[in-house]
């Protein structure tokens, strides 16, 4: 028992909370254990010199990071000639038995150098473990030979072993779960656990990629400290941090409570997991470079727009980014839309750029909403942004929920991860609401009040969200809507599951939660569904879904008024010379710089198909339309378009004017480049449908003399031009239009008339709606 007791004593005599205590404690334990084993070796050999025989350690003792009750993993090495087999077996027994008598768990083996190579070649875990082999006693040159030979084999066979390592990692992570998201984590085997640090070192040993240091080493030490404390408070060599041990471990490590402990565990695990993911990508890239390189290797870059490129499975910057605080947001949007993680070096460069001003410029606000709308691509990009501190700079309040545990059995994730999962789930409901950007913001912030000391996280979060939204730059009306959504995000599910949906008081309470506004109610319903789905299967059962649907149906039967599109702007006087030029077939185009983009004003003769032609010319010029307003004054179309230029070049007013003139004469050549860009986009991984149906519906009574059609669809290259041609082919004129893009989704309202400036007939309405849906869905 002396070995076990002294190791515990060494751990206990070093304060767990003192700076540098962890590494010093583990070094003392490793040194004492090594000395003890050396003495056991001396006793077993009778103090005689032993050439060709050695005792070596692998595992935690070989790495010198063993805990007070960690088991021992020892190898008795021999050259096959130094001792007869019977004497070798007797020597092994004389070494192993004192360890067993000391009640220390032991994993042991007796091998030659050749057997070590054979085992390492056939067993991936053994190969990784043998990379850390360290001498204890005996023939030190034999241990060095084994270590160098195994390392050489590991490097030589890296091409074959890397796919095996990747597969083994995935299987282990599935089996043991995600350490960062577990209330009772396996500190060793789970994703982001101690075992993953061993894999990081193995990748570096293969010379495929260097591993990150700094924060990664600190995270590893933090997890080792928790493991050491766990072994002290339980008196066992355990690696799973059970609920019953949270308080004792937290107290020993000096945390204020168990939640603070779990937050540190989660953050450390995320740091390790992120480092492992990026290092595995580096290793794969390095391996492909070795195999494919013939002469000087040039990077294969595929442009994603805005100076961002795809390179070997990652999004990278094509050069030094400009000193523009908007650039990190723009790069993040491009990467997430492409489903690619941002490369670590790119993230480092982006993190070095200036902070966004307060309040945020409108473009930053729009780009932030676009980032939230990227679906599953958001998660890896958001994690990378968090690792370099960009998220915390954009949202300082995020730090309070970052990696914060949730002990509610309904929830399967930490608070911050649940918020991102809710955003992703909300992305599947954006066609059901008028303002998808507000839905996504509410999804991101609905649990922002789950901070230490909060009694009512909904109303605490509403106050926090209000300040965040003001800083981002939203107007008072939008701030009020999102604040209400955060404050009331639990109301509908509570009414559905605890109240009688046939009771008028229940219906009234639901409308009150939405501020008596139908659009807000639709947002609250979508947020409720996204929140429940993100929480997990315990929160979103068929029973709860059915009750919520019954409540929403009963509420909407009350027919609260629906928000109508903004009325057309008042007419303006046009100069006679402008009217004359336009009447003579000369479009007038002006381009002015706007916040992060350009405003394009087009004056042209109102004609059938003008909307389609203008949208097509802008798309052919590589411009992205964010919003537009169209109206007609004295037979002249006055169209204002707010656009962005992904390629970076400002729009050419002359090119747009020439294109419109040519199209008016029947020349379709100005749209040739658009068709080429469509062909390229349709063949790339970025042109992926989101699986949500387009919504197109008439708003009754919204205008006199016109049919008002609202279209909600995924924005894509050339969509507005396609819609314009759809209307033109049906002989419909676009009297006025209000074009808006929120979080990657179009919210377009068209005032349509048939010949004679009359509203559409019921049959025309049905046919137009069907044609619009087919156009948006690309069928």
* CA separation for the pair 528, 522 (Å, rounded): 10
CB 725 within 8 A of CB 609: yes
Q: How far is CA 656 from the centre of its chain?
A: 38
Across 106-145, the runs of DSSP E, i.e. the strands, are 106-111, 134-138
N residues, the chain: 779
H and E: helices and strands count for the chain = 31, 15
Tell me whether the omega of the peptide bond preceding residue 359 falls within 30 degrees of 0, making it cis: yes
**CA distance linking residue 663 with residue 617, whole number of Å:** 9
Closest to 427 (Cα-Cα) out of 490, 462, 377: 377
CA dist., res. 592 & res. 602, Å (int): 12
Euclidean distance between CA atoms 365 and 473, whole angstroms: 7
The predicted pLDDT at position 250 comes to: 94
- CB within 8 A of 474, min separation 6: which ones? 365, 482
DSSP secondary structure, 18-55, as one string: STTHHHHHHHHHHHHHHHHHHHHHHHHHTT---TTEEE
What are 315's two structure tokens?
């999004």
For residues 714 and 721, what is the distance between their CA atoms, to the nearest angstrom? 14
Alpha-carbon distance values, 583 to 68, 186, 586, 634 (Å)? 89, 76, 7, 11
User: Cα-flanking dihedrals φ and ψ of residue 603, to 5°?
Assistant: -115, 125
336, 370 in Cβ contact below 8 A?
no
The 3 state secondary structure assigned to 149-186 is HHHHHHHHCHHHHHHHHHHHHHHHHHHHCEHHHCCCCE
Region of 606 on the Ramachandran plot (φ > 0 left; ψ -120 to 50 alpha; else beta): beta
CB 45 within 8 Å of CB 76:
no
Query: Cα separation of 573 and 142, whole Å?
Result: 95
CA 365 to chain centre: 19
Q: Which stretches of the chain score pLDDT less than 50?
A: 292-294, 563-571, 682-688
Q: What is the pLDDT of residue 562?
A: 52
The pLDDT score that the predictor gives to residue 330 is 92
CB-CB contact of 572 with 601 (8 Å): no
User: What pLDDT does residue 138 have?
Assistant: 92
Burial annotation 10-29 (CB, 10 A radius, 16+ → b, else e): bbeebebeeeebbeebbebb
Alpha carbon 406 to its chain centroid, in Å, reads 20
Tally Cβ neighbours within 10 Å of residue 183.
18
Query: From the centroid of its chain, how far is CA 476?
Result: 29
According to DSSP, the residues that pair with 138 across neighbouring strands are 54
How far apart CA 103 and CA 107 sit, in angstroms, is 13
**Taking the model in full, what pTM does it have?**
0.81
**Phi, psi (rounded to 5 degrees) for 106:** -135, 130
Question: Residues 35-76: pLDDT tens digits?
Answer: 989 999 999 988 787 789 999 999 998 999 988 888 899 999
Distance of alpha carbon 632 from the chain centroid = 44
Q: Do residues 598 and 645 lie in contact, with contact meaning Cβ atoms separated by under 8 Å?
A: yes
Cβ atoms of 67 and 156 closer than 8 Å: no
pLDDT score for 685: 43
Across the beta sheet with 624-633, what order do the strands follow?
588-594, 597-605, 636-644, 624-633, 733-742, 745-753, 707-714, 695-698
Task: Give the pLDDT confidence score for residue 568 in this predicted structure.
Answer: 44
Q: What are phi and psi of 498, to 5 degrees?
A: -120, -10
d(CA 94, CA 221): 35
How far is the CA of 762 from the CAs of 697, 712, 767, in angstroms? 12, 21, 9
- The domains located in the chain, with CATH, are 2-151 (3.30.460.10), 160-292 (1.20.120), 299-356+367-394 (no CATH), 403-563 (1.10.3210), 576-776 (no CATH)
Among residues 773, 776, 769, the alpha carbon closest in space to that of 732 is found at 769
* Cα distance between residue 438 and residue 638, in whole Å: 30
758: Cβ–Cβ under 8 A, 6 or more apart, which residues?
A: 705
Q: What is the DSSP pairing of strand 72-78 with strand 106-111? A: parallel
- The residues, ordered by sequence, that sit 6+ positions from 637 with a Cβ below 8 Å of its Cβ are 602, 603, 604, 605, 606, 607, 610, 630, 631
Would you state the pLDDT for residue 409? 75
User: What are the phi and psi torsion angles at 211 (to 5°)?
Assistant: -95, 155
| Contacts for 64 with CB less than 8 Å, ≥ 6 apart | 26, 27, 30, 134
Contacts of 203 (CB under 8 A, 6+ apart): 165, 209, 211, 279, 280, 283
**Which 3 state secondary structure label does DSSP give 517?**
coil
DSSP assignment string, 627-694: EEEEEEETTEEEEEEEEE-TTSPPP-HHHHHHHHHHHHTT--GGGHHHHHHHHHHHTSTT----SPPP
Q: 286 to each of 297, 300, 347, how far by Cα in Å?
A: 12, 14, 20
CA gap 533, 528 in Å, rounded: 9
Query: Measuring CA to CA, how many Å separate 531 from each of 155, 371, 638?
Result: 47, 19, 43
Strands 314-317 and 308-311: antiparallel
Q: Tell me how far apart the alpha carbons of residues 735 and 637 are, in angstroms, rounded to a whole number.
A: 9
Grouping H, G, I as helix, E, B as strand and the rest as coil, residue 1 is coil
Distance CA 458, CA 485 (A): 9
User: Nearest-CA neighbor of 29 among 84, 72, 75, 58?
Assistant: 72
Q: What is the dihedral of CA 540, 546, 548, 549, to 10 degrees?
A: 130
Taking the C-alpha atoms of residue 78 and residue 86, their distance in angstroms, rounded to an integer, is 13
* Neighbouring-strand partners of residue 638: 603, 631
Quote the tokens at residue 536.
């997990």
Distance CA 219, CA 197 (A): 10
What is the gyration radius of the CA atoms in the chain, in angstroms? Answer: 33
Local structure of 734: helix, strand or coil: strand
């Amino acid at each position: 028992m002396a070995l076990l007791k002294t190791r515990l004593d060494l751990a206990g005599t070093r304060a767990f909370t003192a700076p540098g205590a962890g590494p010093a404690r583990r070094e003392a334990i490793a040194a004492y254990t090594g000395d003890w084993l050396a003495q056991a070796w001396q006793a077993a050999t009778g103090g005689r010199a032993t050439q060709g025989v050695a005792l070596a350690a692998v595992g935690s003792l070989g790495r010198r990071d063993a805990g007070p009750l960690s088991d021992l993993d020892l190898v008795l090495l021999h050259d096959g000639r130094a001792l007869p087999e019977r004497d070798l077996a007797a020597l092994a027994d004389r070494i192993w038995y004192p360890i067993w008598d000391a009640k220390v768990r032991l994993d042991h083996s007796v091998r030659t150098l050749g057997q070590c190579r054979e085992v390492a070649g056939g067993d991936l875990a053994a190969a990784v473990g043998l990379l850390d082999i360290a001498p204890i006693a005996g023939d030190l040159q034999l241990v060095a030979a084994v270590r160098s030979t195994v390392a050489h084999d590991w490097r030589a066979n890296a091409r074959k072993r890397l796919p095996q390592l990747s597969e083994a990692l995935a299987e282990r992570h599935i089996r043991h779960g995600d350490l960062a998201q577990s209330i009772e984590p396996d500190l060793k085997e789970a994703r982001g656990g101690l075992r993953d640090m061993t894999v990081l070192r193995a990748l570096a040993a293969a010379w495929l990629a260097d591993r990150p240091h700094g924060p990664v080493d600190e995270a590893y030490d933090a997890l080792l400290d928790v493991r050491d404390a766990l072994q002290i408070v339980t008196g066992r060599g355990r690696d799973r941090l059970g609920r019953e041990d949270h308080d004792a471990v937290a107290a020993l490590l000096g945390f204020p409570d168990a939640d603070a402990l779990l937050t540190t565990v989660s953050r450390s695990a995320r740091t390790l997991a992120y480092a492992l993911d990026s290092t595995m990508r580096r290793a794969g890239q390095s391996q492909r470079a070795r195999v494919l390189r013939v002469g000087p290797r040039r990077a294969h870059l595929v442009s994603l727009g805005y100076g961002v490129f795809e390179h070997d499975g990652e999004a990278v910057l094509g050069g030094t980014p400009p000193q523009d605080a908007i650039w990190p947001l723009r790069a993040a949007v491009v990467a997430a839309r492409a489903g690619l993680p941002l490369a670590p070096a790119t993230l480092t460069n982006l993190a070095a750029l200036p902070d966004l001003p307060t309040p945020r410029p409108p473009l930053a606000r729009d780009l932030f909403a676009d980032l939230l709308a990227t679906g599953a691509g958001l998660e890896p990009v958001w994690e990378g942004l968090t690792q370099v501190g960009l998220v915390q700079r954009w949202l300082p309040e995020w730090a309070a929920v970052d990696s914060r545990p949730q002990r509610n059995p309904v929830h399967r994730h930490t608070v911050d991860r649940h918020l991102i999962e809710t955003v992703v789930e909300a992305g599947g409901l954006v066609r059901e609401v008028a303002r998808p950007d507000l839905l996504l913001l509410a999804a991101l912030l609905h649990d922002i009040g789950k901070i230490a000391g909060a009694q009512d996280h909904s109303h605490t979060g509403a106050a926090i969200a209000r300040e965040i939204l003001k800083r981002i730059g939203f107007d008072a009306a939008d701030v009020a809507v999102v604040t209400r959504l955060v404050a009331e995000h639990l109301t509908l599910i509570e009414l559905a599951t605890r109240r009688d949906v046939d009771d008028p008081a229940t219906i009234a309470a639901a409308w009150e939660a939405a501020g008596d506004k139908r659009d807000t109610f639709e947002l609250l319903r979508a947020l409720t569904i996204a929140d429940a789905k993100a929480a997990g299967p315990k929160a979103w059962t068929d029973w709860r879904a059915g009750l919520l649907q019954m409540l929403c149906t009963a509420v909407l039967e009350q027919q609260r008024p629906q928000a109508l599109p903004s009325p057309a702007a008042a007419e303006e006087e046009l100069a006679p010379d402008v009217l004359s030029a336009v009447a003579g077939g000369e479009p007038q185009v002006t381009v002015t710089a706007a916040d992060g983009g350009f405003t394009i004003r087009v004056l042209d003769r109102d004609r059938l198909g003008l909307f389609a032609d203008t949208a097509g010319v802008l798309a052919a010029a590589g411009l992205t339309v964010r919003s537009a307003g169209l109206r007609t004054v004295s037979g002249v179309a006055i169209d204002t378009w707010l656009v962005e230029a992904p390629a970076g070049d400002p729009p050419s007013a002359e090119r747009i004017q020439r294109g419109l003139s040519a199209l008016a004469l029947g020349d379709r050549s100005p749209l040739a480049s658009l068709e080429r860009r469509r062909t390229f986009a349709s063949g790339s991984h970025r042109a992926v449908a989101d699986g949500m149906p387009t919504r197109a519906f008439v708003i009754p009574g919204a205008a006199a003399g016109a049919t008002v059609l609202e279209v909600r669809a995924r924005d894509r290259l050339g969509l507005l031009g396609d819609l314009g041609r759809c209307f033109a082919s049906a002989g419909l004129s676009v009297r006025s239009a209000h074009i808006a893009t929120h979080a990657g989704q179009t919210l377009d309202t068209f005032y349509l008339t048939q010949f004679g400036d009359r509203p559409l007939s019921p049959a025309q309405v049905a046919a137009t709606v069907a044609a619009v849906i087919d156009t948006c869905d690309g069928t």
